């Protein structure tokens, strides 16, 4: 897969997710087969006002390159200024623009998916970025209620100079309920000349294969299904290459990954930036005895206690 002049070895991407895709988590997804990773979304206004916490979300290292940094905002001028600052600090391979987040925190200020109702502003934002940055620009959108309106937005983004487009097959109103409609991304892929990436309801090996085959997109992007489950990238990449389901012990794999994740948080001095118990619960989603596991995590007072109790549960599960 190629975006602008960037060669990406594979076509399975990690979606940008707030409070999830920090550097340690991205490194783990990369290790397990994510072809390209995106940072947590960063407020363009926060960058302009030199908010250190927001800017630090773009922290990276050579091991994870190539890297994409996603920004959001509602002003073409401010987003260009912020992107130029991000470019200067981190030199990411791609800067992605968030036109898809349905969270009230963003949409109430006219950011994220709220911008889908303002096609002219979307065009102005992308044009301002592509005219001023040396870094390739991509965008992520949600679909609108009607195919025609969605196609109009997709064409505007391409015409403004974007180098790729990711399409989540849900509307803003759906949030994360219902099913993603990949007929939209299939049609967009047929009409655009830039790479198009499908997102939404890609949760396992078979759904990844089905979406790729149906949409004929250049790649797939995995979001919520990867939360606490970076090994999902190994499973999917193995299935797409070999055609069979990878055999592994889920319980021991999750515990091993959680231990490694905590270690990376310590290594990069990011432990204070996350909710340890919430993250531990993400890493144990779907495991047997889920209620007991969550109760054990909630009552644990240290990371060692969390890991010890989970290891004990794994032994009993075996």
DSSP letter at 249 equals: -
Taking 3-state DSSP, the helix, strand and coil percentages for the chain, each rounded to the nearest 5, stand at 50, 15, 35
Of the candidates 101, 111, 217, 314, the residue annotated as catalytic is 101
Alpha-carbon distances of 144 from 9, 116, 176, rounded to whole Å: 31, 8, 14
- How many Å apart are CA 137 and CA 112, to the nearest integer? 16
Vertex 235: Cα angle to 229 and 238 (nearest 5): 155
Number of Cβ within a 10 Å radius of residue 273:
13
Taking a C-beta distance cutoff of 8 angstroms, is the pair 184, 147 a contact?
yes
Residue whose structure tokens are 């947590």 = 40
Coil, helix or strand for 76? helix
Question: Which three-class secondary structure state does DSSP give residue 1?
Answer: coil
Q: At what angle do helices 119-132 and 76-90 cross, to 10 degrees?
A: 40
Task: Using the CB atoms, write b or e for 114-151: b if 16+ within 10 Å.
Answer: bbbeeeeebbbbbbbbbeebebbbbbbbbbbeeeeebb
Q: Are 113 and 103 in contact (CB under 8 A)?
A: no
Distance CA 108, CA 297 (A): 34
State the distance between the two ends of the chain, measured CA to CA, in whole angstroms: 40
Whether 101 sits among the annotated catalytic residues: the reply is yes
Tell me the CA distances in angstroms from 173 to 4, 107, 147, 222, one per residue in order.
Answer: 32, 11, 15, 20
Catalytic residues: 101
């Amino acid at each position: 897969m190629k975006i602008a002049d960037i060669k990406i070895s594979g076509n399975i991407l990690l979606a940008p997710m707030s409070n999830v895709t920090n550097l340690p988590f991205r490194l783990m997804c990369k290790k397990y087969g994510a072809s390209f990773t995106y940072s947590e979304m960063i407020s363009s206004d926060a960058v302009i006002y030199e908010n250190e916490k927001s800017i630090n979300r773009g922290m990276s290292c050579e091991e994870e390159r190539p890297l994409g940094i996603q920004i959001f905002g509602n002003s073409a001028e401010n987003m260009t200024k912020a992107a130029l600052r991000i470019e200067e600090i981190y030199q990411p391979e791609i800067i992605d623009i968030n036109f898809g987040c349905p969270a009230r925190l963003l949409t109430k200020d006219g950011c994220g998916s709220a911008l889908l109702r303002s096609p002219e502003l979307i065009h102005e934002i992308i044009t301002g970025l592509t005219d001023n940055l040396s870094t390739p620009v991509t965008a992520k959108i949600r679909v609108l209620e009607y195919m025609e309106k969605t196609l109009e937005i997709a064409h505007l983004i391409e015409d403004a100079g974007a180098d790729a487009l990711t399409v989540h097959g849900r509307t803003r109103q759906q949030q994360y309920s219902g099913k993603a409609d990949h007929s939209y991304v299939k049609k967009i892929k047929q009409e655009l000349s830039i790479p198009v990436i499908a997102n939404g309801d890609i949760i396992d090996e078979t759904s990844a294969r089905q979406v790729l085959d149906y949409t004929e997109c250049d790649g797939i992007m995995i979001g919520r299904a990867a939360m606490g489950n970076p090994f999902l990238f190994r499973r999917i990449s193995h299935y797409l290459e070999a055609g069979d389901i990878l055999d592994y012990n889920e319980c021991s794999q999750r515990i091993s990954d959680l231990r490694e994740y905590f270690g990376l948080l310590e290594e990069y001095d990011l432990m204070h930036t996350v909710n340890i118990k919430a993250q531990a619960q993400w890493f144990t989603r779907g495991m047997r005895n889920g209620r007991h596991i969550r109760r054990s995590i909630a009552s644990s007072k240290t990371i060692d206690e969390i890991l010890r109790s989970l290891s004990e549960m794994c032994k009993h599960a075996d």
